[in-house]
Structure 1
Amino acid sequence: MRTLRVVLPAVVILAWLTLAAVGGPFFGRISEVASNDQSTYLPRSAEATQVSELRDDFLGEATGRPAIVVVERDGGLTDDDLAWTQDLADRLADLDGVDQVSPPIPSDDGEAAELVASTSGEVDETVAAMREASDDDRPEGLGVWVTGPAGFTADLVEAFAGIDGFLLVVAFSAVFLILLVVYRSPLLPIVVLATALIALTGAIVAVWWLAKVGAIDVNSQVQGILFILVIGAATDYSLLYIARYREALRDHESRWDATRLALRRSVAPIVASGGTVMAGLLCMLLSELNSNRALGPVAAVGIVFALAATLTLLPATMLAIGRAAFWPRRPKYGDPQPDFTAPDAKGFWPGVARLVSRHARAVWLVTTGALLAAGLGIVVLDADGVPQSDVILGQSDGRDGQRVIGEHFPAGAGSPALVVGADDDLTALADAARDVEGVSDVVAVSSNSPTGTMPAGTDAPPFPIPTLVPLEPTVVDGQVMLQATLEDAPDSDAAEQAVLDLRDAVRAIDPDALVGGYTATMLDSDAASIHDRTVIIPLVLAVILVILMLLLRSILAPILLVASVIVSFAAALGVASLVFLAFGSPGADPAVPLYGFVFLVALGIDYNIFLMTRVREEAAHLGTRPGILRGLTVTGGVITSAGIVLAATFAALAVIPVLFLVQIAFIVAFGVLLDTLVVRSLLIPALSYDIGPAIWWPSKLWRDERAGRGGADAPQHSHGRDAAHGRHASEASDPLV
C-alpha cells in the first residue's frame, strides 16, 4: 500500500508532464487549423454559402477574396501618381497569393483611383505583402490603403495576433495575483496555475487534431474563448478541491487519507459543475452558425481537460507536497474546524449569515428588485449586428480605406452582391437588379476577367471596368452570375437593405435565383445568430434544470436556482447595455447575448451548485436552515475567490482589440461577479432560508424534516470531523437566529 501511495501520484504527474512537453509546441500551431473567413461561419444551407460555393465555377482562377487598393491625393491625382499606380498594379500581380489585378480605375472627381485584386492562400500574408509593396517609392503626399474583404480579414487576423501570448500572460498574471492574495502562500498559486496551464495544453492538442481531421471548426474567436474558459474553469475547480483538502488535513494526519476524503467530498460538485457547463455548451451544436456550433465541442473538450487535471493532477501534486503547499499557514492535524455559525463568530461571512437569518425575506426581495431594475437596461441594447468596419477596435487600414472609397466611388465597389440565375433570364435579371434602390451598376461575370463584362441587351457601361471589354458571360449548367455594385458601404445597414430588395427583385424574374457576396454573408450571419439565440437559450435552460434536479434530487430548488441565474443574466446584460451606450458602441453582434447567456448560466450555476451541494450535505445532519447558514459561511471565501478569479480571467479577453470579445469580456466578468457576490451570497441563501425545508421538495430530505426525522435528530457519524471535535446534537440548533 505504501508503494502504491508513492507510485500512483508519481505516474499521474509524469503522465501530465509528458502531455505538457508534447503539447507545448501546439500553442503556436493552432492558427494552422483556424479560419477567420466570415463565409465559413455560415451553414451550407445559407443562401450566401451556396453562392460562395458556385463562385469558383464562374470566376475560374479569380476565386479568392477581393482586395481593393485605393490611392488618393487631395486636389487631384497627378500623372506621376497614375503612373506609379499602374506600376503598383504590375508589381502586385507578381506577388504570391495575388491571382489577378484590374487596371487602375480613376474616380470621377480625379482625386482617387482603385485597383481590384483577387487574393488566395493565406490572406493575411498576401495583404501584408500588398501593403508593403504599396509603400515602395510612393509619391510624397499620396495616400494608399489596402481594404476590401481581404483587407478587413487581414486586420482581423492582426487583431488576434496576441491571442497566443499576450492574452495568456495577462490572464495568468491576473489569476496569480488574486491567488496570492487569497492564499497568502507563494506555492499554492503556482500549483493551481500549473494545473490550469497543463489542462489547457492538453485541450489545445485535442482541439488541434480534431480540427486537423475536419471533425470540428476553429476560428480565432473560439480559440480565445477556449484559452480563457480552461484557465478559469480549472482554477475554479482547483479552489474547491484545495478548500476540501485543507479541511481534510485537519481531520487526518495521513496525507493519503486526507486526499481520499477531499476527493470524495469534492468530486460530485466539481463533476456536476463541469457537466453542467459542458451540457450548456454542447447545446451550441444545434446552432445554424458554424462559428457558434464550433464553440460547443471545442469548449467541451476544454472543460473535460480542466476536470481531468483538477481531479487527477492537482490531487497528486498536493499529495506529493502535503501541508508544505499551504506554507506559511499550514493546516495542522487536530486543529478544530472553524465554526463560523457560532454566535460570537467574527468575520465577513458570519456577518452575512446573521443578516440572512434575521432578515431573509427582506434580503431576497431587495436583491431581486435590484437585479430586475438593472435588467431594464436591456431596452437600449442594439444586438442586430455591427458593421464589419467597427468590429476591429483601434487602427484599421481596411476601415480607413473603405472610408476613402466611399468618398470617391460607389462605396460598395470591390465588394459587389453576386446574383446567380438562369442564363435565359440574363437581361431581365440585370435590368431588375439595376432598378433596385442602392444598386449602382450590374455586370455579368466572365471567368476571363476579375471584374466582369457587360450584360447582353443593356446599354449601361460596365462598372468598374473603365473601358468596354468584349467578353462573353460565363455560363455554368444554364446559369450566369451577375455582380451588382452597391452604392453604400458593404457593411452598412443600407447595403443590407439593398441586398434584401435585390433578392426580392431577382426572384420575381427567376424564383430559383440566389444572391450572395460580402454583404449577403453578413446579412445571413446575423439572421442565423438571431435564430440561434431564440432556439438555444431555452434549450440550455431546460438541460441545466434537468441536471440540477438530478443532482439535488429536488424540483423546487433547481427551479429557483435557474430563475436566479436568469435574473442575474438580465441584470448583467442590462448594465452592459448601458455601458456600451455610454462608450459610444455601434451596437453588438447578435451572438453577444447568446454567448453571454451560455457562459453566465453555465458558469454562474457553478457557484450555486458549489453552495447548494454543501448546504444539502450540512442540512442532512443540521437541518435545512442551520445547514444553509453553515454552507454559506464555509463556502463563502472559496466561492468568492473562484468568482473573482473567473471574472478576472474573462476580463483578460478585453486585451484583444475585437469588439465582440471586449463586449463578451465585460458581460461575463460583470455577470460572474453578480452571481458570486449577490446571487450566491445573498439571494439564494435568503430565499432558501425563507422557504425552509420545502426547498428540497419532494426529496427524502424534505420528507424527513417534515416528519421530524432530519436536522438535529439525524445521525452524526456521517461527519467524522464533527464527532472528532465534540459537536453535539444540541449545536444543530440555529445559533444565529
Structure 2
Amino acid sequence: MRHKVVPWGVLALWIIVLAVAGSFAGRLGDVQRDQTADYLPAGADSTQVAKLQDRLPGGEITGLVLVYHRDGGLSAADRATAARQVDAVTVPPGTSATKPAAELGAATDPKDFAAVRNGPGVTSKDNATLMYALSTAAPGKDDDAKKAFVEAVRDRAADADGMTVKVGGDGALAVDARGVFGSLDGTLMLATGLVVALLLILTYRSPVLWLVPLLVVGAGAVCARAAVYGLASWTGITVTSQSAGIMTVLVFGAGTDYALLLVARYRDELRRHPLPYDAMRTALRGCGPALLASSGTVVAGLVCLLAADLNNIRGLGPVGAVGVVCALVAMLTLLPAILVLLGRRVFWPLIPAYGSEPKRRRRELFAAMGGSAAKRPTAVLLTGVVLLGALALGAFNLPGVLKQEDSYTTEPDSTVAMSTLATAFPDRSSRPIEVMTPTGRADRTLADARAVDGVASAARGRSGGGWTEIAVTAKTAPESAGENATIERLRDRLPEAHVGGASAQALDLADTNTHDRLVVIPLVLGCVLLVLALLLRSLVAPLLLVAAVVLVWGAAMGIGGLVFGPVLGFAGLDPGLPLLTFVFLVALGVDYGIFLMHRTREETLRGAGPREAALTALRTTGGVIASAGIVLAATFAVLASLPLVMFVELGTIIAVGVLLDTFLVRTYLVTSANLLLGRLVWWPGRLSRRPSESAEPPPELVGTGR
C-alpha cells in the first residue's frame, strides 16, 4: 500500500505548493531593480553619487546627447534644422520653464520634460558631426517616464533631408539596456525550455518520458521565482534582470542534469526490482548523496558571492542558490513520485523489464575510451594537461574592459550615436563627470573642479537634501586613460565630494572586480573542497577534481580570448566575467567529477580494485554524464543568443568549459589520474588502505539492495 500512498501524497503536496507559488512567481518583476546603483560596487564613490542623485528633485539624472551627422559636411540648413529640433526639446540653462508634453508628442505630465542644454552645440573638425549635450532630472524614478522622455526626444529629433540624427548619452543607453533586459526573462524561459525539451527527446527516444523532467523542472522554476520574490521582499537583496535570467538557466540546466542522473539510475534499478517504488527508493539511496553533494557545491559556490562588493554579483549569490535548491527538491520529490505513478510504461518503447539486461552500445563506447586511457595513463594525463594549458594561454588575448556603448551585439541607436561621437571627437568627452558636493561648499567645489588639470568645464546643477550636483566635462575621451586620470585628480582635490558618472563607474567596477576575485575565489575553492571531502571522505580526490575544473576554466577563458575579439569582433570583456565563469565552472563542473568519483567509490566499497573501479565507474556513468554535460552546455549556450555581449561571453565560456570537462577531463584526465594514483586517491580515508589492512567491511552499502 505504501508504494501507492507515498507518491500520491507527494504529488498532492506539490499541487498545493504550485497553486500558492504561482501567484507569487509572477510578481518577481515587481522586486527586480535595474537602477544604476544596483550594478555598482556597494562602497564605491560612484555608487554614492548615484544614490544621492536619486534623492534629488526628479531622481537620477537622464543625460542625453543629440548627434547630427552628414557625410561630407553639414550645411547651413542642417544646422538650422538641428537648432530648431534642440529648441523643441530643451529650455535654456538657468530657466525654470518646462516644455509641454504635447509639444514632445507624449501624453505625460508637463514637468516630466524639463531638458536643459549643457552648453552650445559642438562641431567636429571635419564639420560632419554636430553634438548637443542635454540633461534632465524630470522623469524621476519612474523607468516608464524615462523611456517616454527618451522616445519623445527621438521622435522630435528625426532625420531630415539626408542628415542622420541619433540620440545617445547615458540616459539613452540606460533606456535601451532596460529594453533588452526587460525581454530577457520570457525569452530565456522559452528558449531554455525548448532546448531542454529537444535534448531530452533525443536522449530518451520516448514520446512521453522527456515531458516528465521538463514539467518537473518547470515546477522547480515556478517555486524558485516565488521563493526569490519572498526573499527579496523580506531581506531586500538586490534582484536584477541579469540575476533573474541566470537563475532561470541554472534551474533548467542543473535540474535537468539531476533528472538525467536519477532517471538513468532508476532505469537500471527497474531491471533489478519488480516494483517501481522499490526501484526508485534504491535509486534515490544510490545517487542521492551525489545529487546532494553536487547541488551543495553549486550552492556553496554561489553563496560565496555574498562576499563580493558588487551589488548585482552579491545579489546573484542567494538568487542562484535558491534556484538550485528548488530544482533539487523538485527532482528528489516530484520527479520520483510521477515516475513511480506512471510505472515502467513511461519508458515506452524502450521499457526496462524486470530481470532484463541493458543494451551496452553507449556503455561500450565509454568502456573503449576508458580502455584507451588505461593503456597509457601517464601519456594521456600529460597530453591532456598540456593541451588545456596551451589553450589557457589564449587568455592573454582577451579584449580589454567592455565599454557601455560596446555592450550590444546589434547596435541600438544610443550606441550608434556614441560610436559616431567617438569617431568625430576622439579627444573630447561626450558625457559629464558627475560630482556631488555638500551645498554649503558648492561654490568652492565648483572653483576647485575647474582648476583641476584635465577639466574642460564645470557647471552647477541641481540641489536638494543638502547636496548639490556639479557636471564636469573632461578634455579627453570617455573611459580613456586621460579621463581616468582626471577622475582620480578630482577625487584627490575634492575630498569632501563624491565623484561619479559613467566613466567613474567603469573605473570603480574594474577596481572592485579585482578585489572581489581575490576574496571570492579562495572562498569558493575552500567551500567546494570541504563539500567534496565530506562526500568522498578523502583529501586527494577533492584536490584532483578541483584542480581539473580550474584547469578547464583557464582553457575556456583562453578559447574566449581566441574567439571574442578575432572572430566575433567584441571590443571588450565584461569585468565581472572572470569571477562569474570561475564560480559557475568550478561549482557546476565539479558535479560531473562527483558523479564519476562517487560511483568509483561505490565500486571500491564492493571490493573492486582501483583499476576495475575506475573503469567500471566510467563505463556506467559515462553516458549519463555526457548527456548531462550536453544539456548543461546547451542551456548556457542559450545565453549566447541574447543581444548582450556580456551574456554571449558568459554563455560561450561556460558552455565550452562544460563540454571540455565532460568529454576530456572526466573521461580521460580524471580516469587516468585514478589509474595512476590507485588507492592513494582516497587518502587518508579507509579506502586508501589495502583490503588486508582494513577492519570490518564499510557499512555504506548496507540496505542498498546491491
Q: State whether residues 48 and 521 of structure 1, in contact with CA within 8 Å, keep that contact through their aligned partners in structure 2.
A: yes
Note if contact 2:363-2:623 (Cα within 8 Å) is conserved in structure 1. no
Match of 1:126 in 2: 146
Amino acid in the other structure paired with 1:64:
E
**Alignment match, 2:665:** 679
2: CA distance, partners of 1:696 / 1:522:
47
How far apart in 1 are the matches of 2:195 and 2:54? 48
Structure 2 Cα separation of the partners of residues 350 and 49 of structure 1: 56
State how 1:378-457 maps to structure 2 within 5 Å.
378-382=395-399, 385-404=401-420, 407=424, 412-420=429-437, 423=440, 426-427=443-444, 429-447=445-463
SS class of match (1:561): helix
State the match for 2:61 in structure 1. Answer: 65
Code of the residue aligned with 1:75 in structure 2: it is S
Q: How does 1:666-705 map to 2 (within 5 A)?
A: 666-705=652-691
Contact 2:58 2:141 in 1 (8 A): no
Question: Match of 1:471?
Answer: none
| Offset at residue 672 of structure 1 (A) | 0.4
Aligned counterparts of 1:488 and 1:220: Cα–Cα separation in 2: 33
2:389 alignment counterpart: 372
So what's the TM-score if we normalise by structure 1? 0.86
2:238 matched to 1:217?
yes
Conservation of the 8 A alpha-carbon contact between 2:434 and 2:499: yes
Q: 1:13 to 1:359 in 2, by over 3 A?
A: same
Compared CA separation, residues 425 and 156, structure 1 to 2 (3 A): closer
Q: CA deviation at 1:586?
A: 1.5
Q: What amino acid does structure 2 have at the position aligned with 1:586?
A: A
Does residue 1:569 correspond to 2:553, yes or no?
A: yes
Q: Please give the TM-score of this superposition, normalised by the length of structure 2.
A: 0.89
2:89 aligns with: 88
Please list every run of 5 or more consecutive structure 2 residues that lacks an aligned counterpart in the other structure: 91-98
- Deviation per residue, 1:60-117 (Å, 9 max, x gap): 4243231315152532435454334323342359734835211585414494544322
Instruction: Sort the Cα spacing of 1:145 and 1:45 in 2 relative to 1 into closer, same or farther, 3 A.
Output: same
1:420 alignment partner, SS class: strand
2:636 and 2:187 mapped to 1: Cα distance? 14
Tell me the C-alpha RMSD between the 2 structures. Answer: 2.9
Structure of larger gyration radius: 1
Q: State the distance in 2 between where 1:208 and 1:586 align.
A: 36
Equivalent residue of 1:120, what SS? coil
Instruction: Say which of 218, 222, 229 aligns to 1:201.
Output: 222
User: Given the alignment, which residue of 526, 537, 544 partners 1:560?
Assistant: 544
Could you tell me which amino acid in structure 1 is paired with residue 647 of structure 2?
A: L
Q: State the distance in 1 between where 2:700 and 2:112 align.
A: 77
* Secondary structure, counterpart of 1:417 in structure 2: strand
From 36, 48, 53, the equivalent of 1:38 is: 36
CA distance in 2, matches of 1:283, 1:539: 6
Give the superposition deviation at 1:487: 3.5
Please state how far the C-alpha of 1:422 moved relative to its aligned partner: 8.3
Q: Deviations over 1:317-365 (max 9, x none)?
A: 110111111110000101146789xxxx973111012112222222111
2:426–2:477 CA contact under 8 A, matched in 1: no
Whether the 8 Å contact between 2:399 and 2:573 is mirrored in structure 1 is: yes
Change (3 A) 1:493 1:166: farther
Name the aligned partner's letter for residue 4 of structure 2: V
Give 1:406-555 correspondences, 5 Å limit.
407=424, 412-420=429-437, 423=440, 426-427=443-444, 429-447=445-463, 481-504=469-492, 506-507=493-494, 511-555=495-539
Task: Report the more deviating stretch, 390-399 or 701-710.
Answer: 701-710
- Against the structure 1 CA distance between its residues 438 and 186, is the aligned structure 2 distance closer, same or farther, given a 3 Å change threshold? farther
Q: d(CA) in 2 for partners of 1:154 and 1:230?
A: 29
Deviation at 1:408, TM superposition (A): 7.0
Q: Quick one: which of 623, 639, 649 aligns to 2:625?
A: 639
* Other structure's SS at 2:271 match: helix
Aligned to 1:356: 373
Whether the 8 Å CA contact 1:187–1:325 is kept in 2: the answer is yes
For the Cα contact (< 8 Å) 2:42–2:310, is it kept in 1?
A: no
Q: Name the residue aligned to 1:287.
A: 308
Residue in 1 that maps onto 2:584: 599
CA distance in 1, matches of 2:82, 2:690: 89
Q: 1:488-534: per-residue Cα shift (whole Å, max 9, x none)?
A: 45444543332123223x14xxx444322232222212211111011
1:47 aligns with 2:25: no
Which of 246, 250, 275 lines up with 1:254 in the alignment?
A: 275
**1:100 is matched with which residue?**
114
1:536-563 Cα offsets, whole Å, 9 max, x none, are 1111111111111111111111111111
CA deviation map 1:455-512 (0-9, x unaligned): xxxxxxxxxxxxxxxxxxx8x76x75432112345444543332123223x14xxx44
Residues 1:149 and 1:104: Cα distance change in structure 2 (over 3 Å): closer
* Partner SS for 2:210: helix
Mind listing any 5+ residue stretches in structure 1 that lack a counterpart? 448-473, 723-737
Deviation at 1:432, TM superposition (A): 4.1
CA distance in 1, matches of 2:239, 2:534: 33
Residue by residue over 1:233-258, the C-alpha shift from the partner in whole angstroms, topping out at 9 and shown as x without a partner, is: 00000011101101110010011111
Q: Which residue in the other structure is 1:462 paired with?
A: none
Q: Give the SS at the match of 1:253.
A: coil
**Corresponding pairs, count:** 678
The answer to whether the Cα contact below 8 Å between 2:112 and 2:149 also exists between their aligned partners in 1 is no
Q: Distance between the aligned counterparts of 1:14 and 1:417, measured in 2?
A: 57
Distance in 2, Cα, partners of 1:165 & 1:422: 45
AA matched with 2:537:
R
Give the SS at the match of 1:637: helix
